[in-house]
Amino acid sequence: MKHITLSSIIGALLAVGAVTCAWSADARAQAPAGSGNASAATVAKDGKTGIATKDDAALVEKQKAAYPVDTCVVTGKKLGEHGEPVEYLYKGRLVRFCCAGCIASFEKDPAKYLGTLDEAAKAKEKAGATAPKAPEAAAVWTCSMHPEVRESKPGKCPKCGMNLIKAPEKK
Q: What are the tens digits of pLDDT across the range 74-84?
A: 999 998 887 88
8 belongs to a structural domain: no
pLDDT the model gives residue 69: 92
Indicate if the pLDDT at residue 18 is higher than 50: no
Confidence of residue 51 (pLDDT cuts 50, 70, 90): low
Indicate if the pLDDT at residue 111 is higher than 60: yes
Together in a domain, 50 and 124: yes
Report the number of distinct structural domains present in the chain: 2
56: helix, strand or coil: helix
145 belongs to a structural domain: yes
- Number of neighbours of residue 154 by Cβ within 10 angstroms: 11
Indicate if the pLDDT at residue 165 is higher than 70: yes
Write down the pTM of the prediction. Answer: 0.50
Together in a domain, 124 and 150: no
Together in a domain, 47 and 105: yes
87 belongs to a structural domain: yes
Least confident of 12-16, 34-38, 51-55: 34-38
Sheet holding 150-151, edge to edge: 150-151, 141-142, 165-166
**Which letter does DSSP use for residue 103 in this model?**
H
Domain extent for 77: 15-128
Average pLDDT on 16-29 reads 42
Indicate if the pLDDT at residue 39 is higher than 50: no
Together in a domain, 101 and 23: yes
Average pLDDT on 85-112 reads 88
What is the distance between the alpha carbons of residues 122 and 149, in angstroms, rounded to a whole number? 47
pLDDT the model gives residue 100: 85
Together in a domain, 117 and 39: yes
Together in a domain, 113 and 162: no
